[in-house]
Structure 1
Amino acid sequence: MLNSVSWKCADGRIVRAFQPDLAGLPGKLRLIDQTLLPEQLCYVELADAAAIHDAIVRLVVRGAPAIGCAAALGLAAVCRNQSVATPAAFLAQVRRTADYLAGARPTAVNLSWALRRCLDSLEAKTAAPVEQLQDILLQTALDILQEDIELCRAIGNHGATLLQDGMGILTHCNAGALATGDYGTALAPLYVAAERGLKLRVFSDETRPLLQGSRLTAWELHQAGIDVTVICDNMAAQVMKEKRIDLVIVGADRISANGDTANKIGTYMAAVLAHHHRIPFYVAAPYSTFDPATPDGDGIVIEQRPATEISRGFGKITAPEQVRFYNPAFDVTPHELIAGFITERGILRPPFARTLAAAFA
């Protein structure tokens, strides 16, 4: 079996899911174009703010932790290409670029968190030469990436304690190696369990309208040798009724102080169904996805996506284009439906207002 966070191309090359190799590509961000999967495995190299902003908006890179890593490394790449004479001019350019990238997608808190961390790293160095500021920015971005890799592995280790041989697991959207620095959040426990010899049966919701579950989750699990079955989103209730599901694990884009959780549209529905069928519903996320400044789910901004994602999914007209469309990218699962949060610090359980505050104080 290949490493669970790498894949083999048709020509035999082994590649990684997220490869921002600025050392080998000075001033460029290199990452998989996820809009082309599973038909093509291709990398794009990005060097300017508009291209990186567009890549985040178009979901070339997606998944809350990966967006944060891409934005931080993208900021470093863009600012390495700036021709400015003074530290003040450089810092002003960094702030403008960070503000621009932060507006690409509003729901995932990791995006603004990573960019803010990059800005904070420069605060005490305002008189340093431009070249030193560029190096600090790049090192901070690389630190964010390395930290995310370590956080995901820790999430996998803690989450694997919930799994037993032969279990059926439902997941929604993609929260694997493609959505993070290198290993995944919701899929990390599955990878760790597989490494320990457990045989699991994973059911992957297709995740309408952009099919991240069928295009991305099923692809990476299959490449890793893990048993995966794709189901349509509206089949989850039947699969649960047939007692094929023992546990649900999903990722998250923002978690409020009380535990209300924003994740890909359809997650709330899966949580309601799991609650009805008495199936434990877990959310896997690193500390950077928790947002203590937002008291509850009502304060989470929900991104609205273009109507064409529904009316012309993947180029084919699937509905009359003259009718109205409503396309929220995320929904919010109330904390009452969540059995626990799988984090790098362990599994946090209710009452969440207390346990989350204690864990991330």
Structure 2
Amino acid sequence: MVYRKTRKAHFAMAFLLLVLASNFLLYQPSVQDFLSLQVTREAVIGSLIDLAIVVPFLFYLAFKISIKQTIGLMVAGLVIARLIIPSELFASYAVILYSGVAIEALLILAELGLLFLVIWKVPQIRRDIEETALFSLLPAVEKVVTKNIFIQIVMSELLMMYYVFFSWNKKAPNHAGVVTMHKKTSAVAMNIMLIHAIVIETIGLHWWLHEKSIVLSIIILILNIYTVLFFIADIQITRLHPLEIKNGKLYITQGLTARIIVPLSKIKDVEWGGVLPSKETLQFIYRDFEEVVPHGVIYLHEPIEATTFMGMKKSVTEFSIRVDEPEKLKALLGKLE
């Protein structure tokens, strides 16, 4: 979900918090006693409308979400209602919750059906992978099942696992169109430091939490393991995929968080120098211990779709870059200014 950052979205977010807080407080015995309130069937119906209809609608106004996500939020609202409304008051409306859960289950089965279709079409997908898997796996899968958020997430996770376990014998490309982006930064070192910190924190925290709450300790352990795998894959992609210009296209990625393929013919202009891009500009700048600025901002004739975290898509008309050899990149791009 992407926040819309508009005035309407701000108002929707404020009302969303108000609706959630008021419904939660309504069923607190201490609040009822203080205000001398008696919850009636009409109040329960109002809460169901708030949580199953009003809250998803406000989410839709505040965030960029799909219809399927909105339906999921409606079911989640019914589940929240079941948790905050006392059982004796909710009993008459339990059928609504079961119906919502059944609809969500059907949607999940449909998503799983798409996943099985992808597995069935693996030979076809492999034939359609022309470039490296990082850039061509999702487009190849989308030819089979079109664009689907669930499939995008699953494929992105498979990509991560591929780079964690099966990319160690691979070598970075080395030709005239390659410009490295990370060698003059501390991006890899920072990721290694984070991995060490997470491992040390996991050992200590898991040992302490295991005596307090086994379930919580296992959840945190799983999340920390996932985070370590993410950073390992990010390091591998950083090493193996420098900026490349080949076949009339610009290939650029920043670990697992962003990647894009740009036909050189669609580059409108390049603004070189220490340009400070806007907050909306997609950035391909590896982290360093010191604050860095991009070497340039590339402007496009028309929007091009970039792939971001977990396979999400973003339409961009400009993006900033920082490389190890800016003069070489200028020459490769034909010194566009």
Higher helix fraction (1 or 2): 2
- Structure ID, larger Rg: 2
TM-based fold match above 0.5: no
Q: TM-score, normalised by structure 2?
A: 0.32
